[in-house]
Amino acid sequence: MEEFEETPRQHYTEAQKNSIFNNEFMPHINSMYNFAYRLTLDGDDAKDLLQDTYLKAYRFIESFQQGTNAKAWLFRILKNSFINDYRKKSKEPSKVDYQDVETYYNSEDVDRQITPDLRVEALKDMIGDEISNALNSLDVDFKTVIILCDLEGFKYEEMAKILDIPIGTVRSRLHRARNLLKEKLSTYAKQMGYKNA
Amino acid sequence: MSTPDPKNMKQDCSNKRECLEMLQLILDGEATAEQKEHFLKEHLEECMPCYKNYHLEVAIRQLLKTKCCHEAPQQLVDDIKTKVIQNLSRS
């Protein structure tokens, strides 16, 4: 697992390991659960993924360097576990090859097609699950950047490390993801009776 | 940011795409101080489409934060702690 091979192995006593686990890893459990749930879209899979991730984090705790960003380290493990173990069996509706999606959304045509004219007033009326459903409906790679940036507040540089992609790709993927999210919200707004939403 | 007078604002933006990217850079906390100053002071208050976009971006972020964060079930948190302690006693 490459994510555990990049930093020199640390040496911790059992007490130190426990302290790191409880004080640096456990405080992120709600954010991690939310990420797992959004990726798998299934309560049981999210539980398994979260549990696997935390057990892995403990097993490889000596690859974690104290003083570095524990949350980013954990998110990267969870993301890699999801890709390796869960993506195939998850209820993710889109089975589109990722490369195709990236190529499509990086074409200039998309920006001309997607000009979501969404209004703030329409958003204010979305008091139900609209935004959550819109987010869930996005392809995993687009959903992920929105979660990392807008829900968890990671910086672009941290996102690049979590996702193993260049910062430029983080930026462009975020831009596309937000356009797609707005497009979805705009559809909901129209259904709610907003014209030109 | 003061509330600009719509009558004095441009109704169309020739750089909509680039402006939206800059806006997102600013809201993500990734823009430099100069970029921020320049965009917010020189452009946003004079350009209606960008001004609207700014409020839309802010509203979407708020909506995401209030509607899309779920806490882990307490049982699961306890299970994970227990499993790690079991692992510990085996090692």
> What CATH number is associated with residue A67?
1.10.1740.10
Has residue A91 been placed in a domain? no
Q: Is the ipTM above a cut-off of 0.90? A: no
Domain, as residue range, for A126: 98-191
Note the pLDDT of residue B1: 57
Report the candidate in A103, A195, A188, A191 with the shortest Cα–Cα distance to residue A137: A188
User: What share of chain A in percent tops pLDDT 90?
Assistant: 64
Note the pLDDT of residue A104: 53
Same domain, A178 and A113: yes
Q: How confident is the model at residue A114 (pLDDT cuts 50, 70, 90)?
A: very low
- Nearest-by-Cβ selection for A151 from B28, B69, B73: B69
A30 touches B at CB < 8 Å? yes
Note the pLDDT of residue A95: 46
Residue B45 backbone phi and psi in degrees, to 5: -80, -5
Q: How many domains does chain A have?
A: 2
A156 touches B at CB < 8 Å? yes
Residues of B in contact with A77 (CB under 8 A): none
Taking the CA of residue B80 and the nearest CA in chain A, the distance in Å comes to: 6
d(CA A191, CA A19): 51
Has residue A92 been placed in a domain? no
Taking one residue from A and the other from B, the number of pairs with CB-CB distance under 8 angstroms is 100
B41 touches A at CB < 8 Å? no
Which stretch of A58-72, A121-135, A141-155, B17-31 has the lowest confidence by average pLDDT? A121-135
Same domain, A115 and A175: yes
Note the pLDDT of residue A100: 53
Same domain, A187 and A106: yes
Note the pLDDT of residue B65: 93
Average pLDDT, chain A: 86
Has residue A196 been placed in a domain? no
Taking the CA of residue A140 and the nearest CA in chain B, the distance in Å comes to: 15
A94 touches B at CB < 8 Å? no
Average pLDDT along chain B, 91 residues, taken 10 residues at a time = 74 87 94 93 87 92 92 95 78 56
Has residue A114 been placed in a domain? yes
Q: How confident is the model at residue A17 (pLDDT cuts 50, 70, 90)?
A: very high
Nearest-by-CA chain A residue for B18: A175
- Best residue in A37, A39, A123 for a mutation probing chain B (most B CBs within 10 Å): A123
Contacts of A38 (CB under 8 A, 6+ apart): A135, A136, A143, A147, B68
Residues of B in contact with A185 (CB under 8 A): 60
**Which two tokens mark A165?**
């992609």
The verdict on a CB contact (< 8 Å) between A58 and B55 is no
Residues of A in contact with B17 (CB under 8 A): 111
Name the DSSP letter for residue A117.
Answer: -
Q: Which amino acid is at A99?
A: Q
Nearest-by-CA chain A residue for B62: A150
Q: How confident is the model at residue A154 (pLDDT cuts 50, 70, 90)?
A: very high
A76 touches B at CB < 8 Å? no
Has residue A107 been placed in a domain? yes
Same domain, A176 and A117: yes
Report the candidate in A72, A28, A32 with the shortest Cα–Cα distance to residue A52: A32
| pLDDT tops 50 at residue A136 | yes
| pLDDT tops 60 at residue A110 | no
Contacts of A20 (CB under 8 A, 6+ apart): A12, A61, A64, A66, A70
Same domain, A75 and A36: yes
Contacts of A74 (CB under 8 A, 6+ apart): A25, A28, A32, A53, A57
Note the pLDDT of residue A120: 84
Same domain, A106 and A148: yes
Has residue A38 been placed in a domain? yes
Note the pLDDT of residue A103: 55
